[in-house]
A and B are shown apart, each in its own frame.
Chain A
Amino acid sequence: MGHESDQALVTAYRAGDEQAAGELVQRHGAALGRYLYSSGAPAGEIDDLVQETFFRAFRALDAWRGDAAFRSWLFRIGGNLRKDLYRKEGGRRVVSIVETDAVDHADPEGQVIAHDQAARIRIGITQLPRLQREVFLLRVQEGLRYDEIARSLGTTAGAARVHYHHAVQRLKGLLT
């Protein structure tokens, strides 16, 4: 089952193969978690958000027409879910500066700088306009090409390149 395409797994799932759903979670869950975390979700809520995203995705599977990557479709659902939760909390959610990384005691000063920069970049990513954020994360975390990003987000490769450029320029400004 591990070599089957997403489309094949979705077809199997629709036909009643429960293991296909599990395989899709195993295949995309970690990337979805990273995407949500990079978009500003707290580390402690990632599992719940990922689970709820898959619940919603499988309940609305008919809405996925297969023209965009399944992973990108999940990212879109997860991103909307995170945004809804943020709105419900009145926009008061604060992104933790460093939630997961441990300090390297061999180079504490360098690590503090690195942590500071990482925190600034993470916060900066959450403050990017949606398309800039999605293009940036799909490119640097998923390694997608511009044409793949364009298909996923329903835009053009040229527009994706422009969004990426703007995102990088904004984030570069946070390092100085």
Chain B
Amino acid sequence: MTRLIHLSDRMPQVAWGAASWSPEDMVHLASCAECRAEWRVVELGATIGADLTDRMDLAGIAARVVADRARRAPVPKAHSFRRASWVVATAAAAALLIMMARPTSAPESAPAVALLPELEGMSAEELELVLDVLPAADGWTVPGTNLGDLDDGELERVLRTLEG
């Protein structure tokens, strides 16, 4: 019985190549069908899928796992993002002010109104350009207002006024 337990405990190590059978072990294995069967089970269990690992794309998996992490990482609020938000707000305010300040006699096909839905898709540089161009588009300006010179607080007040 002791020999059986001894052999049983050593089988995984021998299957792994971390140990080997002693001459006494081999004599016992040759004469004991139960131990031979157990050894066969362990031997087969230890080798199942052993050749599979050569065909696994571990480097590819590692790269995709790293990419998944990067994709899920929270996006920090970049300064440029905040700046672009203000440019969008500024451009929207400019367009609205132009609409409100437009004389009733102005032609119905004013370009500023048509620009509003497009503002969201513009880059910061494009919006800056809009700020430069809008007041002069129809050859008139917003009285007493130069939006490009306003600071953040002033622009916020303009927006609040427009939103009522």
Query: How far apart sit A143 and B53, CA to CA, in the bound complex (Å)?
Result: 17
Decide: A141 and B41 in contact? CB cutoff 8 A.
no
Q: For the complex, what is the distance from the CA of A82 to the CA of B59, rounded to whole Å?
A: 22
Q: A33-B49, A140-B46 are in contact. Are A51 and B61 (CB under 8 A)?
A: yes
B57 within 8 A of A: yes
- With A and B bound together, what is the CA distance between A137 and B46 in angstroms? 8
CA A59 – CA B56 in complex, angstroms?
A: 22
Instruction: Give residues 138-176 of A contacting B (CB, 8 Å).
Output: 139-141, 143, 168, 171-172, 175-176
Q: Are B45 and A22 within 8 A (Cβ)? A: no
Q: Chain B interface mostly helix, strand, loop or mixed?
A: helix
Q: Is the CB of A47 within 8 A of B61?
A: yes
* Complex Cα spacing A27 to B58, Å: 9
- Cβ of A18 under 8 Å from chain B: yes
A68 interfacial contact with B, CB 8 Å: no
B114-156 CB mask vs A (1 if < 8 Å, else 0) is 0000000000000000000000000000000000000000000
**Inter-chain contact A46/B52, CB cutoff 8 Å:** yes
0 or 1 for each of A37-56: is its CB under 8 Å from B? (1 = yes): 11000010011001100110
The 5 lowest CB-CB distance pairs between A and B, nearest first, are A30-B53, A22-B62, A25-B62, A37-B49, A34-B49
Residues A18 and B70 in contact, CB atoms below 8 Å apart: yes
A79 on interface, CB distance cutoff 8 Å: no
Q: Name which of B37, B46, B61 has the most chain A CB atoms within 10 A of its CB.
A: B61
What CA separation (Å) do A19 and B62 show in the bound complex?
Answer: 9
Main secondary structure, interface of A, reads helix
B contact residues, total (Cβ < 8 Å): 39
| Residue B81 CB within 8 A of the other chain | no
Query: B24 to chain A: which residues have CB within 8 Å?
Result: none
B38 and A50 contacting across the interface, CB-CB below 8 Å: no
The answer to whether residues A143 and B58 also contact, given A34-B52, A121-B45 and a CB cut-off of 8 A, is: no
Considering the chains assembled together, what is the distance between the CA atoms of A117 and B11 in angstroms? 18
How distant is A79 from chain B, measured CB to nearest CB, in Å? 14
Interface check B20, CB cutoff 8 A: no
Does A29 belong to the interface (CB within 8 Å)?
Answer: yes
Considering the complex, which residues of chain B in the window 33-81 have a beta carbon less than 8 Å from any beta carbon of chain A? 34, 37-38, 40-42, 44-53, 55-66, 68-70, 72
- A-side contacts of B42, CB under 8 Å: 140, 168
